[in-house]
Structure 1
């Protein structure tokens, strides 16, 4: 019986869903969170590390990863300055934008010339 439970646990982990989905925006396909909200990347992030902390992270909430999360495929997990975990796509940390109010909005694209829609 233990072998069956263990096998089911392993197979469930192997088929875990990606942390982001692909949604449609007026600017084309974009990565979205579970609620369909557009995700963004930040030009100042480098080497798989987030440069958006403090007040920046209030306006651009990181796509949080749970403790113990493991990346797979194009997704990885980065550790933020505060020790929390954040999902990244192709080594680029992912963020939401507080001014997007409904799925498909892309009001954060191009903000200050450094924020961009995360595209698949």
Structure 2
């Protein structure tokens, strides 16, 4: 019985570690005008996205991981924060209908190395005009 319980605990732990997107279920927030995730990492928008839709999939999403929401998240009532459904069916946080991403090149809280990348198509997300 103990061995079976330990096996299930190990399996549950492995599943949690294998699903990093589920760890980012908290709504992003403002920090001195910029938008960050729950770990304080800078978030970005992509100019090739259209309102409510992500154009960053597959290889792009490996370098620019989408800020995923949990299945139970619904956005907020004021309309600034919303959740879109990605091509792969996952839920992603958006600010004023612009999907949000982290950048693989940012290694620590406060890094902003993705700003201006891709011939200026990637920009640091800010709270300009948002509540």
RMSD (Å) for aligned C-alpha atoms: 1.1
Q: 3-state DSSP class of the match of 1:100? A: coil
Structure 1 SS opposite 2:123: strand
CA offset digits 1:64-102 (Å, max 9, x no partner): 000132011210000000000000001100000010011
Aligned partner of 1:47 in structure 2 is 51
The gaps in structure 2 that reach 5 residues or longer are: 1-25
Q: After TM superposition, give the deviation of residue 36 of structure 1 in Å.
A: 0.2
* 1:49, distance to aligned residue in structure 2 (A): 0.2
Structure 1 CA distance, aligned partners of 2:65 and 2:51?
A: 19
Residue correspondences, number? 99
Higher strand proportion: 1
Partners of 1:102 and 1:22 in 2: CA distance? 17
Q: Could you say which structure has the higher helix fraction?
A: 2
Gaps of 5+ in 1: 1-17
Distance 1:98 1:115 in 2: 13
1:105 is the counterpart of 2:106:
no
Q: Is the 8 A contact 1:23 1:104 kept in 2?
A: no
Flag as ranges the 4+ runs of structure 1 deviating above 3 A: none
Paired position in structure 2 for 1:12: none
SS of the aligned residue for 2:111 comes to coil
Could you give the per-residue CA deviations for residues 28-62 of structure 1, whole angstroms, max 9, x where no partner exists?
x3100000000000000002100000000010000
